[in-house]
Structure 1
Amino acid sequence: MASSDIPLPDKPPKVFDRDAEWRELAAFTCDDRPEARLGVVSGRLRQGKTYLLEALTGTLGGFYFAAQQGTQRESLSHLADEFARYTKAPSPPHWHGWHDAVDDLLALGDRGPTPIVVDEFPDLVRQSPSLPSVLHTAYRRHDGGHPGRARLLLSGSSPPLMHRLFSTASPLHELSDLHLTVRPLDYRQAARFWGIDDPVLALLVHAVVGGTPAYRHEYVQDDTPAGREDFDAWVCRSVLDPGKRLFREAYHLLREEIDHKDRALCHSALSAVATGCSTQGQVADCLGAPLTDTARCLGLLREHGLLHGEDDAFRPGLVRLRTAEPLLAFEHAVVRPHRSALARQDAVAVWKHARPDFDTLVAGSHFAQVCRDWALRFAGPDVFGDRPRTASYGSVADPARPGGTDVAAEVVVRGPGGVRDGSLLSVGLARWDEVMDLDHLERLRRLLGILTDRGEDVTRTRPTCYSGAGFSPALRAAEAQGQVLLVGLDRLYAPGEERHA
């Protein structure tokens, strides 16, 4: 039977969304080919990898082991206990090392396809650096005459270490035929996950906690805002409440990812990016740090998935930085400057002073990112006249302004080709709290004129206005005449449009 013809198990109802991830894992596990297979599951902390893998092994009767930091002997002992419990053996096996343990784990697939999950695999490699070679040897030995159908899934939450473990230089690279990354829920999924129907409230909550599933229940004790009017109170009783886990989560994220010697500079760098510094030079100026130290710090944050760097749509070689995790941006732009006040005043008073920073520094930039996500992932095929390939921030110098002041567009959509050489499908302004008018359309036309003078083909480019507050009647009339595309919150959150990625 071809692997594509094998019926796959239904996803358990307790697993929210993750349909694509479940299909990949189930297809990998249920593949009936008579050979041991290796899969890799990665993703940052709190994204639900463990929940998903536990659901897989529970549904398919597989074996699950959660590694933790410790010595090799302790880890082998814990694994042996779990192995005996799973196999219903009267006592744990006496393994002399990882060679014995790996052979016994792979033997679990002798009777049929069996998922075998080792979660937080990097913790084991830190204790036993030879473990990847042990696995490689065991798989090669199985290929030579002991095929089995073990489906070993190695999971980890450290992006740099997972990359190194399964890069082309690793002995495990050639063995692994599934590479699955569990990412945060997108902004639409997050709204459904939090049970929020109001697009304004959904975006505000997403600007604080993003799409990290773990924050929905245990981190706020199932507290969700009752409505738009409850948002401020919800912030005070969740993110700003020292009794809630979410209060210290941003610091925990950095502590778990970054070594102590780099942590202070990384906090300052995240603060700089969250408050508007979008290039390496701007961050260095803000920190008063040497460019080499700044570059190393920013590289570390990007390597660990805490910062994203994206090419400017109009300037070759200029990388724009943004915080990858909304909670980190919220912490470093809004909460961190008021931490000392939280020790002296109640959260309501502190939030009253901090709320303007949230509106200007966090909500607006987050709205722009949601607009870019919509353009790339959800806009229907006819919206821009071609399939979008990139959606990014872009800026050009305006020769008519003193000193060539930049003119920027928050949502620059390009078609096939790339971030700078793909067809220019759209240039757009994103305004979270402004009712957009004809003045915004005129800015876009000015930008298109500058791009034309620079040799850019704008014949197919659609001016687009994105707003969280609405559009004037005059701009609506311009849309009716085909002069501009308008995208509001209702469209950003509307179901049914085609998903591209």
Structure 2
Amino acid sequence: MRARPPRVREWSSPQLVPEVHGVNAVHGQQQSSVVSRDRSAKPDRLFDKEDEWAALMSFSSDPHPGTSLGVVMGRPRQGKTLLLESVARATDGFYFCGQEATEAESLRRLGEEYARYRQVAQPSYWRNWKEGIDALLALGDTRPLPVIIDSFPDLVAASPALPSVIHGALRHLDRPPLENRARLLLSGETAPVMTRLFAPSSPLHALAALKLDIQPLDFRKAAQLWGIDDPALAFLVYTVVGGTPAYRHDYVNDDVPVDRDDFDAWVCRTILNPCTPLFHEARHLLDEETGPWSHGVCHSVLAALARGCTTHGEIATFLGQQLTDASRALALLRDHGLLQSQADGLQPGITRHRIADPLLAFEHALARPRRAALEQSDAETVWEGARTDFNTLVAGPRFAQVCRDWAACSAGSAAFGAENVTASYGSLSDPSATAGLDAEVVVRRQDGHPTGRLLSVGLARWHTGMDIHHLQRLRRILEGLSSREDVRHVRLALYGASGFSPELHAAHARGDVMLVDVENLYRGA
């Protein structure tokens, strides 16, 4: 079967579409009413996701003959299930959510869901997955129809042959005449499994006409999700919960801090409150993604990262383990999307690691070391003692990452003189100093080479006002680099959330340095 790229179109014509039957048996949703409205419009409860919605609707309703395969993946709590259930409702498609179960139980549940969808009294009891997949794909014999199987890795765990069964069924329907128009969508959040199943070397890879990777919201979109207009408050909330859509409502009971003065109290009544789901979420998230055998070492690796260890050697020393042992845990976390690795911006031979999810960083820097105290004392007292660590270990590093994200994705070519850039942490060894010369934001041109041309070097400070000494530090970094690369046109930048001195404003007016504050990060070009 030739893979067709998804054609994204406008979907605006009102039409009569029956509500999907048995959208999710797990949640007990069984509706069959006919409604008169534009069902192809993205539901209001789906925040953002315009591009994903358009791609899925185009794929699901593609009128061309021939069966198609689509893949949707992403980490937990990013809205995949809500997105796919909404697509099923809008198209009167079939939706089934897998669970950890035996093959026989999964087939039984699937047959019951299939019967509800077709509005027949007798459930279908299939002996194997071939019978079940053939029946599901036959739903597309009369019209383009999405057949959605969510939590696909859970089904594969009990039935390893399932991907081969699907491959065989799709290849069989590829033979002329191409009458079937089923749009099979397979979704899952177990990153290593989904990656393996749809790797370029896998049989299903060549058949996939659509691949969507649902990512967390960036810091700007997260502010919109939470409805926060104050950039400083938006950043503080993002530092705790990141850009995961699910945390906005159910996990905090719609509790949003009123203003910056309410932030401390909000932390105490949400993430430090054992009565809220958010209090337990970070531990559950790690445990469900990495598997029971690796819980301890993965928690320890994240603790090392949260304490400022960023290289293999530093992490191994923190763990008291060999480099190879630390490397295995780092690879596992990276495969699950919990860890991000990047070459040092000034010493590309060094790889630096960081926690990808702000909630996991908050947990391992602040909450996890204080679990006993939270059980014995009130959250306000614990938080008061943790506030300094919050600024140093959590907000400071996250602010630096937000500055890098802004430089790479939002600043625009006017800031650095190039459209495609990378932004990373960089460090230089300075024998005359007690510590190395570090730059939180190193911007390079993205030109296909391992190390693109250096465009900018910057410092980022969340809780410290910046003065002329910070500019002088940047100049020392350029002096250290001048012997190995051209620094004549490198732009110096200071990213600060606590203000800049008059001398820096004067230097900015002369064009000696670029000053970026929180307002620029959230509302600038």
TM-score range, shorter chain: over 0.9
In the TM superposition, structure 1's runs of 4+ consecutive aligned residues that sit over 4 Å from their partners are 2-6
Aligned residue number for residue 210 of structure 2:
178
State how far apart, in whole Å, the 2-side matches of 1:146 and 1:274 are: 58
Q: Structure 1 residues 6 and 182 mapped into 2: Cα distance closer, same or farther (>3 Å)?
A: closer
What is the correspondence of 1:113-192 to structure 2 with a 5 Å cutoff?
113-145=144-176, 147=178, 148-192=180-224
* Equivalent position to 1:94, from 102, 125, 128: 125
State how far apart, in whole Å, the 2-side matches of 1:419 and 1:247 are: 43
* Equivalent position to 2:233, from 191, 197, 201: 201
Report whether the alignment pairs 1:477 with 2:509: no
* Equivalent position to 1:32, from 49, 53, 63: 63
Aligned residue number for residue 17 of structure 2:
none
Report whether the alignment pairs 1:303 with 2:332: no
Aligned residue number for residue 433 of structure 1:
463
State how far apart, in whole Å, the 2-side matches of 1:4 and 1:269 are: 43
What is the correspondence of 1:375-394 to structure 2 with a 5 Å cutoff?
375-394=407-426
Q: Tell me which amino acid in the other structure corresponds to 1:122.
A: P
Contact 2:444 2:455 in 1 (8 A): yes
SS at match of 1:359: helix
What number of residue pairs does the alignment pair up? 492
TM-score, normalization by structure 2 = 0.91
What is the correspondence of 1:334-373 to structure 2 with a 5 Å cutoff?
334-373=366-405
Q: Tell me which amino acid in the other structure corresponds to 2:250.
A: E
SS at match of 1:464: strand
* Equivalent position to 2:98, from 64, 67, 70: 67
Aligned residue number for residue 364 of structure 2:
332
Q: Tell me which amino acid in the other structure corresponds to 1:359.
A: N
Contact 1:416 1:422 in 2 (8 A): yes
Aligned residue number for residue 292 of structure 1:
324
Aligned residue number for residue 52 of structure 1:
83
Aligned residue number for residue 281 of structure 2:
249
* Equivalent position to 1:463, from 460, 477, 492: 492
SS at match of 2:493: strand
Aligned residue number for residue 15 of structure 1:
46
Shift of 1:399: 4.5
Shift of 1:120: 0.3
State how far apart, in whole Å, the 2-side matches of 1:338 and 1:419 are: 45
Contact 2:403 2:521 in 1 (8 A): yes
Contact 2:310 2:352 in 1 (8 A): yes
SS at match of 1:493: helix
Shift of 1:15: 1.0
Aligned residue number for residue 106 of structure 1:
137
Q: Deviations over 1:48-89 (max 9, x none)?
A: 100111111111111111111111111111111111111222
Contact 2:6 2:210 in 1 (8 A): no
State how far apart, in whole Å, the 2-side matches of 1:141 and 1:420 are: 44
Moved more, 315-324 or 276-285: 315-324
Contact 1:390 1:419 in 2 (8 A): no
Contact 1:314 1:420 in 2 (8 A): no
Q: Deviations over 1:387-425 (max 9, x none)?
A: 1321100111125436xx421110111113257521111
Alignment gaps of 5+ in structure 2: 12-39
Shift of 1:132: 0.5
Moved more, 229-238 or 13-22: 13-22
Aligned residue number for residue 254 of structure 2:
222
What is the correspondence of 1:386-425 to structure 2 with a 5 Å cutoff?
386-401=418-433, 405-417=435-447, 420-425=450-455
State how far apart, in whole Å, the 2-side matches of 1:301 and 1:285 are: 18
Q: Structure 1 residues 422 and 5 mapped into 2: Cα distance closer, same or farther (>3 Å)?
A: closer
Contact 1:277 1:283 in 2 (8 A): yes
Contact 1:72 1:127 in 2 (8 A): yes
Contact 2:422 2:444 in 1 (8 A): yes
Aligned residue number for residue 34 of structure 2:
none
TM-score, normalization by structure 1 = 0.95
Shift of 1:173: 1.3
SS at match of 2:170: helix
